Amino acid sequence: MLYFVSTPIGNLGDITYRAVEVLSSVDVIACEDTRHSLPLLNKYGIKKSLISYQKFNEAEVSANILDMLKQGKTVAVISDAGTPVLSDPGSVLVTSLINSGEPFTVIPGANALLPALILSGLNSSKFLFIGFLPEKKSDRVALLDKFSAVPASLVFYCAPHDIEKTLTYLYQALGRRKAVLVKEITKVYETRCEFYLGDIPEIDLRGEFVIVVDGYYQAEDFSALSPLEHVKLYQKDGLSKMDAIKKVAKERGLSKSDLYKTVIEEAE
């Protein structure tokens, strides 16, 4: 049997009894970073054979883990923090386990997603977990465009050194919306910072961040406005002309190129 085991995201006390029992009983523990996992394992007196399981060696180690399972060994997979597979290594292994017919299960527990959503105070009845944004601009633009009109809270993970540029990307794609930064969840310096996209909040950039953004809700009827007036309204909110045209075209079901021509002609 293989177990995907959730581990604390900050406070080492946030681990289930079952997780400790499983980690104490398996033959091998696959860790995202063995050095990072040792403080947790030492706290609970868990002494096991550890192997490294990271993004760069995921395919190779997944094959090794399958061999261990076929030999009758039990294996637990943990990430540096939270639940494996969610924005962490593990998806390759899940596919391999399903294809090979090897049994596996999940020991649920801590994750950053749900506490951040609750702390944000934004809509928690409907939400979409997006995780880390793609590095490539075209992939990032396509992804955000796909979810820009979803009437549900959007949840993103972000490394501290990427906060400012990520907030800029989100504003360009989603416009001026209410958002909340949450950092150091479950730790002493847990912080919640509420702001609007388009503003860069003053916040200590140390720690791991979750960004929760309000969903798309058509609160006003702009049908009385001409396309040009509608575009100018969004420009006043801080969007560039092209971003405003793109937003208006999507809301009105118009062609972006046709709307661009209309705006240029009416502005002349």
- Of the three residues 107, 132, 155, the one that is the final residue of a domain is 107
Whether 220 is in a domain gets the answer no
Whether 202 is in a domain gets the answer yes
User: Whole-prediction pTM value?
Assistant: 0.79
Contact 77, 61 (CB under 8 A): no
- Of the three residues 77, 107, 137, the one that is the final residue of a domain is 107
Q: Which domain holds residue 87?
A: 2-107
Co-location of 103 and 120 in the same domain: no
Co-location of 205 and 236 in the same domain: no
Each residue of 76-130: pLDDT tens digit?
A: 999 999 999 998 999 999 999 999 999 999 999 999 999 999 999 999 999 999 9
Co-location of 85 and 170 in the same domain: no
Token pair listed for 236: 């006043």
Whether 222 is in a domain gets the answer no
The C-alpha atoms of residue 219 and residue 259 are separated, in whole angstroms, by 22
Co-location of 152 and 248 in the same domain: no
Co-location of 118 and 103 in the same domain: no
The C-alpha atoms of residue 239 and residue 67 are separated, in whole angstroms, by 54
Specify the pairing of strand 75-78 against strand 2-5: parallel
Q: How many domains does the chain have?
A: 3
pLDDT at 267 (0 to 100): 65
Each residue of 23-43: pLDDT tens digit?
A: 999 999 999 999 999 999 999
